Amino acid sequence: MQRHQRTRKSSAISVLAHEFKVSERRIRTILQGAGINPASLNRDDESQAFYREVAASRLNVFASYGSDDEEYLQTLDEQIRVFDEIYVDTAPIIQKDWFLHFVANSKAILKRRKKRLIILEKTMEELHGLKGNPEKDMDVRIRAMIRPDLIRSLARQRIVRLGDTGSGGIADDHLVELFRRIGASLNIMLITQDRGLSERVVHLATELGDECEEAKPLTFFEKLIGKKEREMITHRMVACKLIEGGMLKRLYICPECSQSYYDDLYATGGIVLCGRCYVRLREEEERKEQLNRKRREAQLKAEEERQKKLEEEEERLERERNRLTVEKLIHRRKQLAIFYSSIGASLLLLIIALFISR
């Protein structure tokens, strides 16, 4: 039994040694340095993945965490290239192995675009505080211990830039105040798992009017060549979180229900309707449209009935006019007949009187 356990433990170390092309002794040293006893290794997949993560962070070899999906890498390139500065908060750095995936996928893009991930010294201080916090899980404490060395190694490769805003307080306030100063002139992305901090950034972006257009004044040369105005520039400030595989999801806030939610990174403002409110408002709009349609149909029906009544009244008046016209014609003919009859009678009497007088 003990021999079987030694074989399994030895196998876990040998697998890592073969993957990273180092000696088993080096792997044991790395694990011991992270507080992991090589004599009590677990061989399950989850534990093996964690040991692999520790070795990758210590050796700064994590190419195997990169994605082979060209379509995703192209999407990531589009997401990164529009931002002038990309800040990484404490939580995503120690969120499982997602930070390793993100760095592995974005490393070539950052070099090609001449950009760097910015990690504040405040974040490094938080990592230092987490590694000795007994209230945190062992894997969190180990990640907080091994990530700073990885970050400094990435800084030497010009993938990461360590920044300092020169103020006190917690890192969240640090970031918000920094973004308040630079958010009106730069396109900024913050990567954080902190939903509250993300909401603060989205509200700040709205407050600063990150979607409004800003026109820089023309230079002397541009005026000299007769340029009338500069092309308008739109600044953006977004907050994203890392998900499994190191992919980015952006935080939005619904203006209707004021609830935040995560979705893909679209080129839009941070205040966007959530799915529930969109469906609800669409249903309300459809109900209003249906009600307006019924109201219009009722009005149209009422108008048709009114027109029908007017036509019937017009026909009645026309019949009345025709009846009166006929009666007048008969009466007039009677009057003429009486007139002519009286004239004839008078002539007849006159003729008889003349005849008698002779």
pLDDT at 259: 92
pLDDT at 166: 55
Helices in 88-247 by DSSP H: which ranges? Answer: 90-93, 98-113, 121-130, 138-156, 171-182, 195-208, 220-224
pLDDT at 58: 92
The answer to whether 15 and 29 have CB atoms below 8 angstroms apart is no
pTM of the model: 0.73
pLDDT at 151: 95
pLDDT at 4: 42
Neighbours of 98 (CB within 10 A): 21
Q: Which residues pair with 262 in a beta bridge?
A: 251
Please, which residues have CB within 8 angstroms of residue 249's CB and are 6 or more apart in sequence? 240, 241, 242, 243, 262, 263, 264, 265
Going along the chain from its start, the domains and CATH numbers come out as: 1-59 (no CATH), 63-273 (3.40.50.1010)
Q: What are the average pLDDT values for consecutive 10-residue runs of the chain, which has 358 residues?
A: 46 87 92 86 82 92 90 93 92 95 95 93 90 90 94 94 68 82 88 94 84 55 58 74 95 93 87 88 89 91 90 84 74 81 83 79
Report CA-CA distances (Å) from 228 to 178, 224, 233. Answer: 34, 10, 16
